[in-house]
Amino acid sequence: MLKFIYSLVLLFIAPVFLYSLYKKKDGKPSIGPRWKEHFGYTPALNSKKPAIWIHAVSVGEVIATIPLIKKIKAEHPEQNILITTTTSTGAEQAAKLGPLVEHRYMPLDFSFAIKRFIKIIQPQQLLIMETELWPNTLSAAAEANIPITIVNARLSERSRSRYAKVQGVFNLLSENITQILCQTKDDALRFQKLGIESDRVKVTGSIKFDINISKADINKGVELRKQIGSKRPVWIAASTHPGEDEQLFDAHKSLLTTQPEALLILVPRHPERFASMFKLSQESGFNTTSRSGKASIEKSTQVYLGDTMGEMLSLIQAADICFMAGSLIGDKVGGHNVLEPAALAKPILSGPSYYNFTDITKQLINNKSCTICADSGQITAQLQKLLNDPELRMQQGEAAVQVVNSNKGAIKKSIEFLPEFV
């Protein structure tokens, strides 16, 4: 009965979801004629070898999956890997993996679409990144005897409490899951409190700690810093959301009163906001240049808009300090991945809402490499403190790297728990 009600609700909300997915926006790649894949009309795989099916919703999940994919291919070069994403930006990111994977769009969670997809692809196992759980997908995969593993799973206390209020719905989700590989012991305990048997829950750590930053990304960042000027104070606000940009601009305006040469690299989370953020920056009184515009960065440039995809690591590399956004707007987002600046040895600032990365952020706080700022005034104060003390910046950056290195190994542990490969 629950499945029927869920499918009925999905039928009514699907048009709204599809409109959002297909709506043309500046900087957003088009899905084009591949829209049929969202209904299970997917092309067969190029290789006839059985494939591991990995689902990663969008850009962030695809990036997190990359080290896992590379490790599997290194150990099992003949293994065929299919990655599905829901969004076109995720597809664009997956395309950068080249011949390592094949990409398809994830069908909507209608039984007919999922079953058609499975019949065509015939995956040998399904890996779902983090906690992207869809009832009909899980049910159809289980009916086809496809082992289902949740990889890099996390469950905040807030999410556990919400699931507990609809325990029947959660049971519908969880009954078909083969195993859950959790980031932390706390995540594992929360899943068990929701009724998942302990033998289906393992702790492997976060695969995000196994971050591998390419020399190409670092070199691009170094080159950008040369263009900016090695002696200029530079900070980056990474993955910003509506409601944060104004606060960050206020912080930068205050910073400029004591550090008139300071440069803010602002990187909106979603590409459809690139154009509006360029306009807002100019309207806020800043001399603004965008990366896509390829104009040179002058001494008078005060804000540099990171309006390209897949260059976050290079942009962070070019900065002295990283503010990780998604953390200044209450409980709406819950923060973003602070491990990228940590791996690049950058001092980290964050807003007070980081519940999606609680364990990681707390480790960085305890290691004195991440500072929580409640508002624009505190952000400015921390920026001034760090920019005036190169030794403190170096100490915090080194401490951040130590946290990353001490937690590596989750990918190896995760692969050990997966069913056999080809």
Residues belonging to the active site: 61
Q: What is the SS3 assignment for the chain?
A: CHHHHHHHHHHHHHHHHHHHHHCCCCCCCCCHHHHHHHHCCCCCCCCCCCEEEEECCCHHHHHHHHHHHHHHHHHCCCCEEEEEECCHHHHHHHHCCHHHCEEEECCCCCHHHHHHHHHHHCCCEEEEECCCCCHHHHHHHHHCCCCEEEEEECCCHHHHHHHHHCHHHHHHHHCCCCEEEECCHHHHHHHHHCCCCHHHEEECCCHHHHCCCCHHHHHHHHHHHHHHCCCCCEEEEEEECCCCHHHHHHHHHHHHHHCCCCEEEEEECCHHHHHHHHHHHHHCCCCEEECCCCCCCCCCCCEEECCCCCCHHHHHHCCCEEEECCCCCCCCCCCCCCHHHHHCCCCEEECCCCHHHHHHHHHHHHCCCEEECCCHHHHHHHHHHHHCCHHHHHHHHHHHHHHHHHCCCHHHHHHHHCCCCC
